[in-house]
C-alpha cells in the first residue's frame, strides 16, 4: 500500500507509546484512526490531541485480552467507517522476574495481553479484511526479544514475543497461499521510550491474587537497571511510527526499529548456534545409523 489517504487504521494500545507513534503517522498520512486502549483517561487525551490536528478519530475502550472486546472494536469500526485497511495489534505489557519465580497471575496477564491480544485481533479482523477483498496490512508488535532470548528477567515477555513472531510468520504464509491481498508484518522494536516499565498500572485486580514479593537477586539488579537505562535512551515513538509506515510501503516483513551492530550480532549468533546444533545432531544420527 502506497496511498493511505482516507483509509482506516485500527491501533490497539493506541493511546500512548508505540501505538500513539503509529497513530500520529497515520493521521499525517490522512487516515481515519480507530484508537483502542484500556486506559480511559489516556484514550480521551489522545483523542483530543489528534482531533485538534484535524484528524478523524474513533476512540474505543478495549481490553485486548477479552475476545468480546476485540469483536466490539471491529464492529464499531465497521459501523462507523465501513472498512478497515490497517490493523496494528500493538497493546502489550511486561511484568518481569526470574522465569520460574513468576506467579501464575503474572503468566496469565502477560500471555492474555501480549499473545492472546494478537490472536484475538487476527481472528477477528482477518475474516473482515478477506471479505473486503482489497489491499490491507496487519502489523503485529513483537520485539527484538522475539528474535533472540537475551534479556535476563524478561522470560515471560520473551515467550510471548516469540509467539507473536511465529504467529505472524505462519499467518503471512497462509494468506499468501490463499492469494490474499492482506500483507502481514512483524514489528520487532528495540528500546523505545514508552511507559511499558510502568505496566502494573493496568494489571487487572483479579490477577493480583497470587502475586508474591519478588525474591531479591543482586545479580539481576544491575541488568534490570541497564535495561531501564536503555529504555530511557531508546527511540521516540513517533520515529517508530515513521519506520512502520515506510516499511509497509516497501512491504518489509520484519520491521526493525533498531539496526545497531550489537543487535545484528546477537541475532546472527543465535542463528549460528542453531546451525551448529544442527550439524552436531546430524553427526549423532549418522553414528546411530552406523551402529544399526
**Mean pLDDT in residue range 225-248:** 83
pLDDT of residue 215: 66
Q: What 3 state SS string does 247-277 have?
A: HHHCCCCEEECCCCHHHHHHHHHHHHHHHHH
pLDDT tens digit string along 162-192? Answer: 999 999 999 999 999 999 999 999 999 988 8
Q: Does domain 8-259 bear CATH number 3.40.50.720? A: yes
CA neighbor of 75 nearest in space, from 10, 119, 7, 171: 10
pTM score, whole prediction: 0.90
Average pLDDT, the chain: 91
Q: Give me the helix-helix angle, 67-81 and 116-132, nearest 10°.
A: 30
pLDDT of residue 232: 64
**pLDDT above 60: residue 72:** yes
**pLDDT above 80: residue 74:** yes
Q: Where are the domains of the chain?
A: 8-259, 263-292
Per-residue pLDDT band for 249 (boundaries 50, 70, 90) equals very high
pLDDT of residue 61: 98
Q: How far is it, in rounded angstroms, from Cα 75 to Cα 160? A: 27
User: Choosing from 157, 162, 263, 278, which is the catalytic residue?
Assistant: 157
CB atoms near residue 226 (< 10 Å):
11
Respond yes or no: is residue 157 known to be catalytic: yes
Amino acid at each position: 500500500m502506497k496511498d493511505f489517504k482516507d483509509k482506516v487504521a485500527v491501533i490497539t494500545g493506541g493511546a500512548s507509546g508505540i501505538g500513539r507513534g503509529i497513530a500520529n503517522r497515520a493521521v499525517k498520512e490522512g487516515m481515519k484512526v480507530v484508537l483502542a486502549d484500556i486506559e480511559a483517561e489516556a484514550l480521551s487525551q489522545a483523542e483530543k490531541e489528534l482531533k485538534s490536528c484535524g484528524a478523524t478519530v474513533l476512540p474505543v475502550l478495549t481490553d485486548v485480552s477479552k475476545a468480546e472486546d476485540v469483536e466490539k472494536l471491529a464492529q464499531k469500526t465497521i459501523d462507523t467507517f465501513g472498512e478497515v485497511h490497517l490493523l496494528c495489534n500493538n497493546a502489550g505489557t511486561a511484568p518481569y522476574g526470574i522465569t520460574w519465580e513468576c506467579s501464575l497471575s503474572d503468566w496469565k496477564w502477560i500471555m492474555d495481553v501480549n499473545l492472546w491480544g494478537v490472536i484475538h485481533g487476527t481472528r477477528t479482523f482477518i475474516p473482515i479484511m478477506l471479505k473486503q477483498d482489497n489491499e490491507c496490512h496487519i502489523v503485529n508488535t513483537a520485539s527484538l526479544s522475539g528474535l533472540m532470548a537475551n534479556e535476563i528477567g524478561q522470560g515471560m515477555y520473551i515467550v510471548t514475543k516469540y509467539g507473536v513472531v511465529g504467529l505472524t510468520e505462519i499467518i503471512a504464509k497462509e494468506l499468501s497461499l490463499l492469494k490474499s491481498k492482506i500483507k502481514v508484518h512483524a514489528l520487532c522494536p528495540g528500546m523505545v521510550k514508552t511507559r511499558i516499565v510502568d505496566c502494573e498500572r493496568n494489571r487487572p485486580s483479579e490477577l493480583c491474587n497470587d502475586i508474591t514479593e519478588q525474591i531479591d537477586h543482586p545479580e539481576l539488579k544491575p541488568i534490570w537497571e541497564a535495561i531501564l537505562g536503555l529504555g530511557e535512551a531508546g527511540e521516540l515513538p513517533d520515529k517508530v511510527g515513521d519506520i512502520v509506515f515506510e516499511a509497509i510501503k516497501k512491504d518489509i516483513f520484519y520491521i526493525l526499529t533498531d539496526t545497531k551492530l550489537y543487535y545484528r550480532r546477537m541475532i546472527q549468533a543465535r542463528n549460528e548456534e542453531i546451525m551448529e546444533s544442527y550439524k552436531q545432531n546430524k553427526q549423532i544420527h549418522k553414528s546411530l545409523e552406523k551402529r544399526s
